[in-house]
Structures are given as C-alpha cells and as structure tokens.
Chains A and B, each alone.
Chain A
C-alpha cells in the first residue's frame, strides 16, 4: 500500500502544487489520479519514487517512509512509465526492456532472455527485439515502455499519462491489453491521466484532483459517477455520468422476455428482424456478462428498439426493450 500522509509540495516561487494530500493507494489495485492540468497529479506521482521531494508530509510504501530509502534502489523497485514512453533511442527494444534487470546486477544475457518473453507478453513479436525505438509506431513504443517498466517484476508501477500520446483506436486496444495484463499481475499501480473516461475505465479507484493540488474526491468509479461530492467533480466526470454508470452494472440480473418475432437460423442464432427487404440487422447481441450500458446501447440502435441476448452457444435466449430496461432501472432505484 502506498500512503500519502498530509503531503504538501510548494515549488520555489511559492506556487502550491500539492496541498495537504492524504491518500491511500491499496495494494494490488490500480488507482487513477485524474484532474485538470496543474492540479498536482503528476507531482504527487513523482513524489512516490522521489523524483520530486515533498515540502512537508510523508509518503509510505507498506508503512516505510520513502524518504529513508536510497533513491536509485527505491526507483529500481518501482516500474516507471511516462508519456511518449521515453525509450532510449540509442538502444534496441530488447536492451530498453532489459535496462532495470541489468541495473539490478543481472547479466546482459539473462536480462535479454527475460526481456524477450516480456515483449511477447505485451503483444510484440520477437522480430521487434532488434529494432530501435525510432522504427516503432507510437503504440508499439508505449508497449515497450510498459514492458520495460515490468521487466524487474516490481510490485508497484507508476504511470504518467501512459496512453495519451496514441490515437484513440490504438489507445482502446492498449487499454484492453493492459487490463488483461493487470488482471494477471495484480500490481499496485498509480496512473496519472487528464482523461476521466480513461480513469473510470482503468481505475479500481479514482482520485479526482482539483486546481491548486487539492484532492476533491476519491472512490470507486461507480461511487464517483453515482455520487460526486461536489459540483467540480460532477462537472469533471461529465454530463452523461448516468449512462456511463451503467457500465458498472451487470446484465446478469436483468429480466428478459421470451424470444418472439426474431428471425433465427437452424441453431437458434439471430439472423435479424423481419423487414420488407429481408432481415434487418439486430445491431449486435449481448450476454449475461455484458454491462447494462451495452444493453442500453443495443436497445437504442436496434431497428425495433429491442436488444437481443444470446447464450454461450450464440443462440438467442431473451429480448429486452427500452421500456424493460427503463422499468428495471426505475425498480432498482426504489
């Protein structure tokens, strides 16, 4: 666990970057630090690995004050990922990934062998190993950046806007891969972002900062969307928070009505809704594992206003209309 105890950072010149921050980042969870620019989120992150020294207050890792640790040794035990990846342009991808293990005393050969495995783990094939960073796309560089941070298998990772330099399509893909990776690894992660959607999507917990370096609210994404503590947080999380909040509710408990009127193939899989010019596309289907947001989206996009649920075999096993969903949400509220 990473603990901020009443941490203050005032820069020479008098500007307050972080104002009496007390915050806990639980072990094995991803805590997203989010807020507008100049809110102290990056400064807070950089105080964890002593890249920035607090003016007052303490930062503890599992109860131990980081100020008492040797700087370099502390940092080698903490993965560090930054925007644009910050890869060493003069080293190959493989040697970039091998950096920290070599610093920790592994032979170059051992470190490279381990680095090769890690590259595959972050979705880069073996032939990337010998390339130089300038030969990679932004998304590939960012993957290498993550692999480099993971190389010494640190329990903690600090990530400063790790996905903001890539285009939305690649970002989406990196998010998915990253969540899958984190599910396996269970690192304690502090992730800085200015993008509330990213924070909500990736964070187990989200800490919202406001200008002047003050913590506005901390909680699970769901809590944040459901009950923002004040107008600032409400505005920051956005006007469509009601709809976005649905992404945390499983469709498993949603009652469905029997399949009726839908065109099916021999195996019971949906072909579409009857129309004058043949079947009309259902716009997709959902399963019990999907969120209510998916169901709402399907119901809105469906030509007949009905979302189709399928079972594990792909066969349609239930229907949900707008009205069903609205009734379900209304019933849940009371």
Chain B
C-alpha cells in the first residue's frame, strides 16, 4: 500500500467532473441525493402523520419513544444485507434500510414538538371553535415546526452520510468512490468520496436551515 499516493488528484481531475458522464462525480452526487430525498420523503410520509397523531391525541406515546430508541440501534449496513438476502438486489432494500434510519428522528421530534407546545394555546384554539384538524394544521403543527425541523435535519444528515451503503449492494451514489477506490487500492478516489460526502452533508444541512427560516414563523424565533 502506498500511502504517499493519497492526494487530491482524483477529486481535482476535471475528467471526473464531466456532467452527465457515467460514474463522474456529478452523476454520483445526483444518484446519492436521489436515494437521500426518496428515503426522507418516504420516512416523512410514514413518520410525520404517526408523530402528529400521537402528539395530537396523546395516545401511543410509548410507540414514539420506543420506536425512536429501537430504530437508532439498528445497524443500517447489516439491515441492508439482510434485506438483500430476503428481497434480492435492487433499489427497494436500499430504500427500506435508509427509511428505517430516518423514521426514528422524524417520529421522535414530531412527537416531542407536539408535546412541548403550550397547552393553553391549544386550549384557546379549541375554545375559539377550531375543529380538531384545524387545531392540528393551524396551531399545533406550525408551533411544533422548530423542533420538528431539528429532527428532520438530523435525519437528513444521517441519511446523506449513510446512503453510501447503496454502493455495497451494487447501486450508484458516492459510496461507489469509497468501495471501488478500496477495491482497486485507489485511495485518492476514497478520499475524494469522503470529501464530497462531507461537503454534501454540510450543504444539505445549510439548505434545510434556509427552508426552516422560511417556513417557521418569526413569532416563534424570539422565544427559542
């Protein structure tokens, strides 16, 4: 192994940045983001309604807490291997494994956001004649957004970092640089993969921070 050969050459080579070319860094980023967004989307569709329901009604809170803990302790790579043996290769096992990763933080933060609300405000909303779903969408959800977005951002960070496992089962994504780099002892390629994943994670978090600023009411910022 020649450690001196680890440098930025792979990352800086313009040939690896050709838009549209198979296996170029932009193509891999796009695939990586694709897995990330899909997993977050599915995870949100699963976890958000459940978290809102539990928070709104107060029923089944053990589920929110235990699912959160259980989900966190599952190793994604191990789960993915298990799913591949059960379902075969393909996108589905990857998406399931990544969704299992994002559900706990979204579920737990939605529940926590809903539980941390000032109950007097919710009482006022009911007392003024809002129906249950109006209380949820017009009062509880907007007020829970700061905490909810915190959970969503941490889910996004985890899934950006972990989506590299897709390459382990033959799919694309930035994991290709790591796995193929290791396979052919091209450590500059591994380094390039690591750097791009890290920068991507930071950029995703920054853009979500912007989204948060945009969707969270200014009235909720002064008190946090």
Contact = CB atoms under 8 A, between A and B. Distances in A.
Interface of A: 49, 51, 71-78, 80, 82-92, 99-100, 103, 132-135, 148-149, 158
A133 B124 contact: no
Interface stretch (B63-71, B72-80, B89-97, B213-221): B213-221
B208 interface: no
A92 B142 CA distance: 13
A142 to B, nearest CB: 13
Contacts of B128: 75-76, 80, 99-100, 103, 148-149
B140 to A, nearest CB: 10
* 8 cross-chain pairs, A with B, having the tightest CB-CB distances, nearest first: A132-B219, A86-B124, A76-B129, A75-B129, A90-B217, A80-B127, A134-B222, A90-B142
B5 interface: no
Contact of B218 (A100, A132, A149): A132
A99 B127 CA distance: 12
> Main secondary structure on chain B at its contact with chain A?
helix
A103 B134 CA distance: 9
B139 interface: yes
Given A87-B124, A88-B125, A134-B223, 19 more contacts: A51-B126, A51-B127, A71-B129, A76-B128, A76-B129, A77-B129, A80-B128, A86-B120, A88-B139, A89-B121, A89-B217, A90-B139, A90-B143, A90-B216, A90-B219, A100-B128, A100-B129, A132-B217, A135-B222
Nearest to A133: B219
A78 B127 CA distance: 9
Name which of B118, B126, B128, B130 has the most chain A CB atoms within 10 A of its CB: B128
A162 to B, nearest CB: 12
Nearest to A74: B129
Which label, helix, strand, loop or mixed, suits the secondary structure of the A interface?
Answer: mixed
Nearest to B144: A90
Task: Kindly name the residue among B123, B127, B142, B143 whose own CB sees the greatest number of chain A CB atoms within 10 A.
Answer: B127
A73 B134 CA distance: 13
Interface residues of B, number: 23
Interface string B128-162: 11110010000100110000000000000000000
B121 A91 contact: no
A71 B143 CA distance: 24
A90 B127 contact: no
A46 B173 CA distance: 58
B129 A89 contact: no
A91 B125 CA distance: 12
A85 B126 CA distance: 14
A149 B124 CA distance: 10
B2 to A, nearest CB: 58
A68 B46 CA distance: 38
Contacts of B125: 88
A150 B120 CA distance: 19
B220 A89 contact: yes
A135 B124 CA distance: 19
Nearest to A75: B129
Contact of A86 (B121, B216, B217, B223): B121
Nearest to A77: B129
Contacts of B217: 89-91, 132
9 contacts: A51-B127, A80-B124, A86-B120, A86-B123, A90-B142, A90-B143, A90-B217, A90-B219, A134-B219
B127 A49 contact: yes
A66 B134 CA distance: 22
Which of B118, B123, B129, B223 has the most chain A CB atoms inside 10 A of its CB? B129
Contacts of A49: 127
Contacts of B223: 89, 134
Contacts of B124: 80, 82, 85-88
B21 to A, nearest CB: 47
Contacts of B130: 72, 103
A108 B131 CA distance: 18
B129 A91 contact: no
A214 B118 CA distance: 31
